[in-house]
Amino acid sequence: MKTTITVNGEARALDLDPRTTLLDALRETLRLTGTKKGCDHGQCGACTVLVNGTRINSCLSLAVMHDGDAVTTIEGVGQVGALAPIQQAFLTEDAFQCGYCTPGQICSALGMLAEVAAGWPSQETADLTAPIRLTDDELRERMSGNICRCSAYPQIVAAIRSVAGEAA
Amino acid sequence: MRPFTYERATSAEGAVKAAAETPNARFIAGGTNLLDLMKLEIETPAHLIDVGRLPIAAIEDTADGGLRIGAMASNSHVAADARVRSRYPVLTQAIVAGGSGQLRNKATTGGNLLQRTRCAYFYDTSKPCNKRAPGSGCGALEGLNRNSAIFGASHACIATHPSDMAVALTALDATVETLSPSGQARSFSIVELHRLPGETPDVETHLIPGELITAVVLPPPPMDAKGGGGQVYRKVRDRASYAAGLASVAVAGGRIALGAVAHKPWRAEKAEAALALGSSGVEAIAVELSEATHSHRNGFKIDLLRRLVPVAIAQANGSEA
């Protein structure tokens, strides 16, 4: 089935079995293997990418559902030699051990920070009508869809915090 | 996944027409639950009708002071809507208690209502399950039933409905709008959407096959005697985030709905009636729980609700329990 998806700024024409998930299209068809397959059931967050700027689990979406969409993967966030600030922050803060969850953590963090900037509440938001204060509890809650089996959570919080700035 | 064909609907009318004309077709919007189940071959549609881009995603004020939420509005957009946050906080609280940020960004209002149980026997295709394979039996009855129903269960099925959002919508007395396969629009109370398992737990709603949910309509926010909002959602689960509930409660005005304890969001009408007659929260939930039943491992849910509901009622009333 013919589908065109803009991936990291480049329009990619694909011809796919409708069963192909967005994750498999990225990894197997486009060979963008930065996005990782963990559980393949939306439970671990390793496959997180940005679709039109919004973070989603690419394993729980069919590629054909994204015809015309703009997808950003970790390869589009930054490259060796031209790292994005969030990528440099993960290095500086030692925010991983094995690194398998890291592309998903970083894409999720970018989506999460945009959600905070847009004023979206979480279950840690006590006053639903006030501006969001990105406390550490808020940050952890908003990142709960990304599992790290090496348990680098304190460093992940530190890395995201270093990019987000202190809670106002 | 089993092979299937795919089409993108361009209108709600076209979507229901396609569903009526195509055998074993299913609507897909966010897909977060359906695709999970298709990978496990619990769901095996022959055709998918993608309704995710239908122009029914808006959240609009209604003439009577309520809110109409289009079926394709994402869970994230509904939770973040300024009108929902200020006038229906119980709905925002319930939505952000469910799933993860990634899932809520993809999941839709209509799809959330129609998500399927997380019962382990429904998910394990090597085990009996009357919901997945009618007539095969219920593995949960004598098995791992820690998260099974305590209200409205049958000998055929003790599964629970997993939605948080639907519990809040039930307490808010929402109305569901649909388009039937013949193109007929209808609307009905959310309590009439889901059914109890009875002898046919595979039939989970009163929707006609191929009927599409197009919107959920909220009446004006409830007012308590003091003119306050009186809304709160509380959820108890095994970990602090990103886990299905063991029990939850939504309070909105004088209405109470319970989650993760029945085959559908459970409107606690007996507790509501007791409260209206002046009973305390503790007394009111005791009346409701007098009709609860339990299996080997889920009796603790009765104790959970006995403690949780009075606290939520007190919180909604702005007083300590």
Write down the pTM of the prediction: 0.97
Kindly report the backbone phi and psi dihedral angles of residue A4, in degrees, each rounded to the nearest multiple of 5, phi listed first: -120, 125
pLDDT at B131: 98
pLDDT at A86: 98
Nearest to B183 by CA among B43, B10, B18: B18
User: What is each CA distance from B230 to B62, B87, B190, B253, in whole angstroms?
Assistant: 21, 10, 20, 5
Average pLDDT, chain A: 97
**For residue A34, is pLDDT > 60?**
yes
Work out the pLDDT band at B227, boundaries 50, 70, 90: very low
pLDDT at B220: 96
Cβ of A42 within 8 Å of Cβ of B1? The answer is no
pLDDT at A166: 82
pLDDT at A49: 98
Select from B35, B38, B112 the residue whose CB has the most chain A CBs within 10 Å, as the one to mutate to test that interface.
B35
CB < 8 Å to B35, chain A:
21, 60-62
**For residue B226, is pLDDT > 90?**
no
Nearest CA in chain B to A125: B93
Cβ of A145 within 8 Å of Cβ of B102? The answer is yes
Select from A61, A65, A125, A143 the residue whose CB has the most chain B CBs within 10 Å, as the one to mutate to test that interface.
A65
pLDDT at A122: 98
Of A45, A60, A115, the CB nearest to B106: A60
Cβ of A57 within 8 Å of Cβ of B106? The answer is yes
Q: Tell me the nearest-neighbour CA distance from B261 into chain A, angstroms.
A: 21
pLDDT in tens, A131-161: 999 999 999 999 999 999 999 999 999 999 9
CB < 8 Å to B241, chain A:
123, 140-141, 144
Work out the pLDDT band at B65, boundaries 50, 70, 90: very high
B112 touching A (Cβ < 8 Å): no
Cβ of B28 within 8 Å of Cβ of A65? The answer is yes
CA distance linking residue A18 with residue B226, whole number of Å: 55
Distance of CA B320 to the CA centre of its chain: 28
pLDDT at B320: 59
**For residue A119, is pLDDT > 60?**
yes
CB < 8 Å to A64, chain B:
6, 50
CB < 8 Å to A18, chain B:
3-6, 48
pLDDT at B224: 60
Once rounded to an integer, what is the mean pLDDT over residues B202-214? Answer: 97
Q: Tell me the nearest-neighbour CA distance from A129 into chain B, angstroms.
A: 6
Of B5, B36, B79, the CB nearest to A42: B36
CA distance linking residue A16 with residue A2, whole number of Å: 6
User: What is each CA distance from B94 to A110, B80, B88, B103, B252, in whole angstroms?
Assistant: 24, 12, 10, 14, 12
CA distance linking residue B307 with residue B321, whole number of Å: 10
Contact partners, residue B283, CB within 8 Å, separation at least 6: B274
Average pLDDT, chain B: 96
Cβ of A1 within 8 Å of Cβ of B102? The answer is no
B311 touching A (Cβ < 8 Å): no
For residue A62, the 8-state DSSP code is: B
pLDDT at B54: 98
pLDDT at B319: 79
Work out the pLDDT band at B123, boundaries 50, 70, 90: very high
Q: Kindly provide the residue ranges of all beta strands, DSSP E only, lying in chain A, ordered along the sequence.
A: 2-7, 10-15, 48-51, 54-57, 70-72
pLDDT at A168: 58
Q: pLDDT over 90 for what percent of chain A?
A: 98
Of B8, B79, B240, the CB nearest to A121: B79
Q: Is the ipTM of this complex over 0.95?
A: yes
Task: Let me know: does B198 contact B130? Beta carbons within 8 Å.
Answer: no
pLDDT in tens, A66-118: 999 999 999 999 999 999 999 999 999 999 999 999 999 999 999 999 999 99
Q: pLDDT over 70 for what percent of chain B?
A: 98
